[in-house]
Structure 1
């Protein structure tokens, strides 16, 4: 996988840290001449998009789009982020984004989230925002596209743009939330990324403007600081409104003009800051950036050179195509090498991209065990040099170009039903990064001829150009130990010198051209005579079909128009973890990590990737609670091939040793990480404790997982694959007859299947008799803890109960937001969820989880318990009930037009559990009819605080 914008991507969101992976980040200055990239480019913008500029300089982009039906995605993009801050303002752009939810011209402080909920919008899901280096973006997902709703949405965005109150009381209230978010987002990965930025980009502004800011400045901000930044940067010419949805674009463009035309600058503009410089140097610069708590070590060889801004044109896009192909080939080589016996790394990636019109960053990263960093560094250096010296062969080129071309063709097939939120994100990226928003058809027309003519020599030249800098940055990070060989008797060298010496030693090693790659054909096209359908039923009101083949395989299909050119498949086999051998704990987890990596009997996983290049096939696999589950996404042309691939995994799995080697490397890193993060005990300890020690629950102990073998995996899986029950669900843009025929020739042709056993004894699970509190500690320097409370509930066999628990949980979650986040300010994102089991009888849990300052565990715990007790004793209010219900109803309406809902909630086990069809018919009306009295009864039954199990995780004392 290409690793785009490695150093230009780190951003802090209002609700997430995000690593942007889209178009290259551009300079932060808004356009002063042409307002859109296509104004001066020979690339053609999507003709369906309306682009406009108001007299005050604000730009708008409007696109009519029908998925999801009757909904709209609105965005306000401000071309200003943390790079616009002064030293004294570090963190204010992100803090200001939070303040947008704390009072404006039309929405008094504390009312906006409630207003959204009454409109049928969920906080976080439908109303969100993020701040990055070069932009601040506000997002609204409207529940409908009626004119009043659109007016309200645009009014909210207009208030963000120019009507924030920024009251001192609200500034002080939000300060704790910002600091809580900073604590929540603090991690080893974040600290390593910051250290790396300082090493390779220390002469630029980027390492000094991470959007979350600094504690000292966050604690010092007063109202006047916000108004100064807001007035200077939230200016019409730096803003754009994006609207995508199921509406009349002319009418919406008119509404935007009517709403935003009066927006005006409130203060003189500040000049955009200089971003700094990229020093040119020859030779190497090395750094050792240790983090003892990191799950693994990593090595990196990078080049960074200064660049000049370039326009988005036909020529610039075609110029980068050979580089994209070359990177794909080298990454395939790394993937193959990682599976080799004694490979000194577990995964690797090579990348090249441009950032901020300032630099080009190209490099190779490898992840490894702590003691293997010298070998990993050498392998990375030699593989990169192998590619740069010897280039690529035609088979590698064909595979890479076939995959890229297939991706372009799939984009064309699926373009008609792209979702509005995704299109809105693409439009923002194009607008802020000064790129042309082109159509998938035009992209295919541009790149296909070039891909058909591209040569290995062009790809080699492009890779050499990407790495043409005379200097290299070398980094060794994570839990690697870089130290002198004290036994040598020589004077100790610095870590940087040791790293440089290892690199220079590798450079002296000659590298040969890679071995030629042989072509092969897929070996699994016949599974016996095609099966016949023994019975079938069309369910008219749900417009789906249920069929059973003579071998006992069940098939459930539904043709939809939700996603053009896409078909989703789910295959459930056997009994899953219900029958995991009790004397082999961790076997299911082990299989999840090894099964697909083992390939097939006649093809390794790497062989399959090469053989299936250019085809829309690929298989997921997991051991679920009650079945072995294969999943896939394909199209009409490749449906048969996809089903052949799944049938091959069932009839001839590979169980190769390379899969075991890969898995064990990953296990070591996984458990190392869990030992140093607060949620580690919640994964390792609590699930099994809550299930009275049942080994099927939670993450197995490291020693248990280490004891598992491929032989055990084969012995447990083989009987399930041989005769276990099979139920297939196929949903999407399909031809029903062709789908039945493809199943008949693959899974329908397999030997007869057993009926699904009841397994009532295996379905028993139980909480301990008495609630307990467990205190855990983790070895970490990061000062944060977790408090989790678990209330036992029940299973999901009575869907009415499950729905009422879900709605009750939504009320509980909202009270947590108000009491713990907004009033106390002691946590950033308190969560609550209801998880009734659909496998284990009478077993379920309602859980609340908060990340916090360890010193605040007691007060936050008392607050959560008080909220639960108040609900248990006094119930919910009618107003709370409606605010919780309306966003759920919005999501239900939307999910009914998604393949994911029909595949996962209805058809996946529709014949094993026929009641799922009835559930589908009643879910909306049932939620509409839930009453306060019902929720009060469930709260009284389940939520008294004395019923709760507690887990408290804090850093170990130093």
Structure 2
């Protein structure tokens, strides 16, 4: 269960041309009925006589599954003072016993159906909505009936048994503790500053400790009966279904629902009073990794119907924000820039207020310089506007987004569509289709000028609205408000010049020599794949699919990754991951590339992985050659520009400032390295070591690898095979001969500690939460049969932890367990369990976790536990088989380097189905040995000086 973030309304990109037939509807039951925007014609709308609305949509992906959502238009804003936190608490109670689902087996019931708790079954509570979600494992009538019956129980049949309420109090308090953070405290302080006379700062969904500990059952029933009313509910079903066949079931199950209490008016949210002057506030969080400075305006806002004119009204503003954000991105990389990154945005929230904001992230000692940049860059745009080249880039990006949305629409995922549909219905927005969106926005984009965008930005940042200045982070100032305001006023007195004129250029990397020739081609007919080797040794693995219309995914593996890392240069891998792509190319900076490639569907992800360097991106047929040219350019002429290492140094300052105050800090700074016997490739290096790494070192390392190292390319998606082969031949096939990949036997060795470890760490923090993490030595992930069984055993262990630590002891909100089994280092792997707990409970919870493991080690895995672990895994396997990321990353990325991966794909269903409880019992005896567990506890200690 989760709490929803602060919702915002942004420019939507989606719609179609005719209305679907309606069932028993009044004029304003759905927003499209009073709008000139066409709703998606495939959606079947309906409303029951009790007021519950529903939307049914047949959708192709994932095949054979249904995404279900039940939303209640009520959240924490609807709570009385003595109910603060009960909207979210009530959401938990839906899983703790209802009319048709006893408390003891709600989760277990769905597990047996093949649904993972927390993944396929979940819920979320926000300020103005509560959403329950189910990802059904299949589209069988009985599965749908059972799921809708549970939804109906949520709507009107939760039992609120006193014993279950008392049991859940500790879980909710543990969740409150787990969610407590610098970010949450800062968010609350910011809301109190921006909209102090509204209900928002007093209605954070997690609630107050007083209410969570003491609210009687009557308070739950008051909220439930008042706000869980049929007319406030929305049911959405998307997936492998026929709306006409499902609709009678919806009527049957939800038709009997009735309101249980008189309707109440919406709560008064308060008032928003704009300031005509400059107001400033400092919120200090000494545990933050950085400072943030923002300039904001807040003005009242009232609901606007979702219409074509309304959407087009905000289009110039959207483009203006894109252009200004691009300026900040470019500026942040320049020498001497006093900030790491920034963002400009304008949102309308809760039909209550509009907020325009520019925010920069910086070092604490640079807050004044960062605030000056924010003020002057905002004013530069307001006074001098934008250049045609900037607008052309923004328009090209949006045009391409519209086009890609249309092309990929046939294979959108049901879960995302269901979530969007629910949001639209709660927000009174029209659920439109990408075809209609393109028809609306494309002509408008052709008419927009820089002057229109500037006017839209000025309207959002009206001087009459005044300015609110908010500085937060590890900053302490005497007379803070005056200091912040005076910095702002001093900046405002400095004249700003127009931005420098943008020079146009062309992409310079299109010729890599004569196209390579295919030397070998192997068809893998049963998997629908083709394996190719070019004359220069470059390998190519292909699989054409229809899982994602209009999309091609590319993965490139090169060389040996951190197996080739110079051991004396610790931190060089971190530098590569952060700085390599930011360094751009020899002929183009990374900012030049963004402008040159605007309107093209190309991407660039790079990583120094444990056994290979990798490039990855998603593209399409039209841009595939350009995508491969971009990859090849980074392989043959990387820029290693100084702005890349400047960004790394800024990020490092923030990371190393934050880690000593977070429970995970010791694991990144010391424990990961400790568990690998001091191997410099594991964990973060000390700050001074990382900052001592140079671009010259990076260039020397990567250049030697990139020159002749083996290359294996995987391409999966919507393509014609001959076109892909030709594009690879013109790029990677044209490169010099590649060497064979060495075995790297020496650098694959990692030594675990000789004996179990037990260490306690302290962090300086005012946030009262501790972390317990246990490690049991395992093995590597190369034996797939063993790996599958260990992962299933781990799921059994995780479920036992849930029952014991969460349900019985209420000691943690979400105990986690995982299997970390290396594919790179023979024999190296761990079984891991962790829990975020109250500092006073660390010993109790650590012992309880050990006892669960010891019981598993000494006892047996039951047949019932096996099935509850197996069924969600089988559901996930069926689902992944129709996803390009699975075929790309798990099967084909290294299919020629590791041919066994093809067989892994062939036998994964039958092998997982064949796993027995006896096998898992034997593995538990082997790996969950109590004598071999390492224990780490991280405790917070308050800063006395602070």
TM-score category, normalised to shorter length: over 0.9
Query: How many Å separate the matches in 2 of 1:670 and 1:224?
Result: 46
Contact 2:529/2:542 (CA < 8 Å) preserved in 1?
yes
Cα-to-partner distance string for 1:558-588 (whole Å, 9 max, x where unaligned):
0000000111000001110011111001110
Query: How many Å separate the matches in 2 of 1:704 and 1:934?
Result: 46
Query: How many Å separate the matches in 2 of 1:265 and 1:754?
Result: 73
Aligned to 2:764: 779
Q: Secondary structure at the match of 2:103?
A: coil
Is 1:245 paired with 2:239?
yes
- Offset of 1:24 from its aligned partner? 8.1
Of 919, 931, 938, the match for 2:923: 938
Q: Secondary structure at the match of 1:923?
A: helix
Contact 2:3/2:205 (CA < 8 Å) preserved in 1?
no
Is 1:474 paired with 2:461?
no
Is 1:284 paired with 2:278?
yes
Q: Secondary structure at the match of 1:516?
A: coil
Cα-to-partner distance string for 1:291-311 (whole Å, 9 max, x where unaligned):
111110111100010122211
Aligned to 2:887: 902
Query: How many Å separate the matches in 1 of 2:283 and 2:852?
Result: 44
Contact 2:564/2:747 (CA < 8 Å) preserved in 1?
yes
Is 1:410 paired with 2:404?
yes
Aligned to 1:570: 555
- Offset of 1:23 from its aligned partner? 4.5
Of 542, 546, 565, the match for 1:557: 542
Aligned to 2:791: 806
Aligned to 2:112: 118
Query: How many Å separate the matches in 2 of 1:808 and 1:459?
Result: 58
- Once the two structures are overlaid, the 10-residue window that deviates more, 702-711 or 910-919, is 702-711
Alignment of 1:320-719 (within 5 A): 320-468=314-462, 469-483=464-478, 494-719=479-704
Query: How many Å separate the matches in 2 of 1:792 and 1:635?
Result: 44
Query: How many Å separate the matches in 1 of 2:4 and 2:567?
Result: 40
Is 1:183 paired with 2:170?
no
Query: How many Å separate the matches in 2 of 1:591 and 1:810?
Result: 35
Query: How many Å separate the matches in 2 of 1:433 and 1:792?
Result: 50
Is 1:67 paired with 2:61?
yes
Is 1:95 paired with 2:82?
no
Cα-to-partner distance string for 1:386-435 (whole Å, 9 max, x where unaligned):
00001001000000010011111110010000000000011011100100
- Once the two structures are overlaid, the 10-residue window that deviates more, 558-567 or 249-258, is 249-258
Of 841, 857, 866, the match for 2:842: 857
Contact 1:23/1:433 (CA < 8 Å) preserved in 2?
no
Query: How many Å separate the matches in 2 of 1:185 and 1:520?
Result: 48
Contact 1:24/1:356 (CA < 8 Å) preserved in 2?
no
Aligned to 1:889: 874
Of 777, 782, 804, the match for 1:797: 782
Is 1:85 paired with 2:79?
yes
Q: Secondary structure at the match of 1:34?
A: coil
TM-score normalised to structure 1 length? 0.96
- Offset of 1:220 from its aligned partner? 1.4
Is 1:15 paired with 2:31?
no
- Offset of 1:324 from its aligned partner? 0.2
- Offset of 1:33 from its aligned partner? 6.3
- Offset of 1:785 from its aligned partner? 0.5
- Once the two structures are overlaid, the 10-residue window that deviates more, 377-386 or 694-703, is 694-703
Contact 1:90/1:217 (CA < 8 Å) preserved in 2?
yes
- Offset of 1:329 from its aligned partner? 0.3
- Offset of 1:681 from its aligned partner? 0.8
- Offset of 1:99 from its aligned partner? 0.4
- Offset of 1:481 from its aligned partner? 3.0
- Offset of 1:64 from its aligned partner? 0.3
Query: How many Å separate the matches in 2 of 1:606 and 1:799?
Result: 43
Q: Secondary structure at the match of 2:5?
A: strand
Q: Secondary structure at the match of 2:661?
A: coil
Query: How many Å separate the matches in 2 of 1:542 and 1:16?
Result: 41
* CA 1:792–1:410: 2 relative to 1, 3 Å: same
Alignment of 1:868-879 (within 5 A): 868-879=853-864
Aligned to 2:19: none
Aligned to 2:22: none
* CA 1:195–1:394: 2 relative to 1, 3 Å: same
Aligned to 2:17: none
Contact 1:24/1:355 (CA < 8 Å) preserved in 2?
no
Query: How many Å separate the matches in 1 of 2:225 and 2:413?
Result: 34
Q: Secondary structure at the match of 2:615?
A: strand
Aligned to 2:908: 923
TM-score normalised to structure 2 length? 0.97
Of 729, 746, 764, the match for 1:744: 729
Query: How many Å separate the matches in 2 of 1:784 and 1:707?
Result: 34
Contact 1:291/1:477 (CA < 8 Å) preserved in 2?
yes
Aligned to 1:52: 46
Query: How many Å separate the matches in 1 of 2:910 and 2:598?
Result: 46
- Offset of 1:506 from its aligned partner? 0.4
Query: How many Å separate the matches in 2 of 1:33 and 1:232?
Result: 25
Aligned to 1:489: none
Is 1:236 paired with 2:212?
no
* CA 1:23–1:246: 2 relative to 1, 3 Å: farther
Aligned to 1:823: 808
- Offset of 1:766 from its aligned partner? 2.0
Alignment of 1:221-232 (within 5 A): 221-232=215-226
Contact 1:299/1:376 (CA < 8 Å) preserved in 2?
yes
Query: How many Å separate the matches in 1 of 2:4 and 2:229?
Result: 26
Query: How many Å separate the matches in 1 of 2:921 and 2:683?
Result: 31
Of 286, 293, 297, the match for 2:287: 293
Aligned to 2:213: 219
Q: Secondary structure at the match of 1:940?
A: helix
Of 174, 193, 201, the match for 2:195: 201
Contact 1:120/1:890 (CA < 8 Å) preserved in 2?
yes
Is 1:158 paired with 2:143?
no
Query: How many Å separate the matches in 2 of 1:814 and 1:455?
Result: 58
Cα-to-partner distance string for 1:629-657 (whole Å, 9 max, x where unaligned):
00010000000000000000000000000
Aligned to 1:256: 250
Q: Secondary structure at the match of 1:218?
A: helix
Cα-to-partner distance string for 1:802-854 (whole Å, 9 max, x where unaligned):
00000000000000100000000010010000111100011111100110001
- Offset of 1:32 from its aligned partner? 9.7
Contact 2:292/2:473 (CA < 8 Å) preserved in 1?
yes
Q: Secondary structure at the match of 1:713?
A: helix
- Offset of 1:20 from its aligned partner? 4.1
Contact 2:853/2:930 (CA < 8 Å) preserved in 1?
yes
Contact 2:8/2:349 (CA < 8 Å) preserved in 1?
no
Query: How many Å separate the matches in 2 of 1:100 and 1:750?
Result: 60
Query: How many Å separate the matches in 2 of 1:579 and 1:206?
Result: 53
Aligned to 1:486: none
Cα-to-partner distance string for 1:154-195 (whole Å, 9 max, x where unaligned):
001001000000111100000000000000000001000100
Query: How many Å separate the matches in 2 of 1:334 and 1:208?
Result: 34
Query: How many Å separate the matches in 1 of 2:3 and 2:583?
Result: 35
Contact 1:577/1:588 (CA < 8 Å) preserved in 2?
yes
Query: How many Å separate the matches in 1 of 2:610 and 2:695?
Result: 20
Query: How many Å separate the matches in 1 of 2:506 and 2:675?
Result: 50
- Offset of 1:944 from its aligned partner? 1.5
- Once the two structures are overlaid, the 10-residue window that deviates more, 905-914 or 253-262, is 253-262
